[in-house]
Amino acid sequence: MTFDRNLKIAPSILSADFANFGAEIEAVEAEGADWIHVDVMDGHFVPNLTFGPPLVKAIRKHIKTVMDVHLMISPVDPYIDAFADAGADILTAHVEAGPHIHRTLQAIQGAGMKAGVALNPGTPVSAIEAVLDMVDLVCIMTVNPGFGGQKFIHSQIEKVRNLRAMIGDRPVHIEIDGGITPETAPLMRAVGADVLVAGSAVFGGGSVSDPAPYGKNIRAIRTACDVMV
């Protein structure tokens, strides 16, 4: 993985058909996805449950691009090796998930993955200032994590603008997760985001037997960002 600030669309499989992940991933990549975003939830850190390392490992062979794993779990550290073994390219932990984010990020990189840190909407960017030199990605949540299809929280725009300034020349991706649509995507691109996660806005209206809407949805987000002023 080489670093750049080009726009990357990362469909979240949280909005895909859970009985058909392999085919869904292949369809959405064929339709133009740049990364595949994989949401792991534990029913404790967030009020919803999804899946764990065995499923992540099973879908790895269907991903040709980048497997971007977003952990909404607490604790994180006991599971890092399992996600490395599952083939995660990027492993993102929440700063709110425990008292030792520095140790967690070290462990993620030590296990051979890129390390991401995610912030809930209520957490200020100052919470990660001291670890910016050791992360590959910062994920700003623009909904409260746990579910797809929620409404974008506009107060996060200013937060991303500040984060972009704080990152400076560091090769750190800025990822936005939650409520991304052709309407909200350009707002985040304009303040410095390069990875846009989108679940419902990509998978809505399509299926593995009719994947063309996935491509149309991805292009709508991309085009909206291209025409922004």
Element (H, E) at 173: strand 173-177
Which residues 174-193 are close enough to bind ligand DX5 by CB under 6 A? 177-180
- Minimal distance, residue 150 CB to ligand DX5, in Å: 5
Which residue of the set 34, 39, 68, 194 is catalytic? 39
CB-nearer residue toward ligand DX5: 109 or 150: 150
- Minimal distance, residue 47 CB to ligand DX5, in Å: 10
- Minimal distance, residue 174 CB to Zn ion, in Å: 14
Looking at residue 150, the DSSP 8-state letter turns out to be P
To the query of whether residue 194 is one of the catalytic residues in this protein, the response is no
Distance CA 226, CA 71 (A): 30
Report the chain's C-alpha Rg in angstroms: 16
Tokens of 202: 């990509």
Which residues 29-48 are close enough to bind ligand DX5 by CB under 6 A? 37, 39
Distance CA 37, CA 218 (A): 14
Among 146, 186, 206, 211, binds ligand DX5 (CB under 6 A): 146
Only one residue has tokens 């967690």, namely 104
Binding flag, residue 70, ligand DX5 (CB under 6 A): yes
